Amino acid sequence: MRKKRVMVIGPTQCGKTSLVNALNDYNGPLRKTQDIIYGKNTIDVPGSYIENTWMYKHLIAVSQDASYVLILIDQSRCDNVYSPGFAKAFRCPVIGVITKIDLMKENEELCYKQLKKIGVEEPYYRISALRGIGIKALKEYLFSRQEK
């Protein structure tokens, strides 16, 4: 049986790689690529898979290796790149993560509305990978449940 990992998806520049590095306890340089990267605990999916709807079928296929799917919304931009009900395409639990919470605080409510529209149920995790805010709580939620 293959190891289940946490799949991280979101638009370009929303903080995916920074979050993936934190979830994998990796402190080295950021690696940006257009390939799906299977890490120690994660599956890092490039933003182009979200930004091009014809690639959704690949996301769904890759999610078969996932214990959770994290859908990221960037609070500093709040780009609406997901289709309504998008989260319902996955069989594993989907978790909403609002990134860059230290920026554009006035967009917080808009981020919640977007997550609801794409079908992600609460609770939502609010993080800032740059400042380390919310990472510990998210890791505890994800990995304490995987070990059981």
pLDDT in tens, 51-103: 998 999 999 999 999 999 999 999 999 788 999 999 999 999 999 999 999 99
Domains and CATH numbers, the chain: 5-146 (3.40.50.300)
Residues 120, 104: Cα–Cα separation, whole Å:
22
Give 111: exposed, middle or buried? Use CB within 10 Å, 0-12, 13-18, 19+: buried
pTM over 0.75: yes
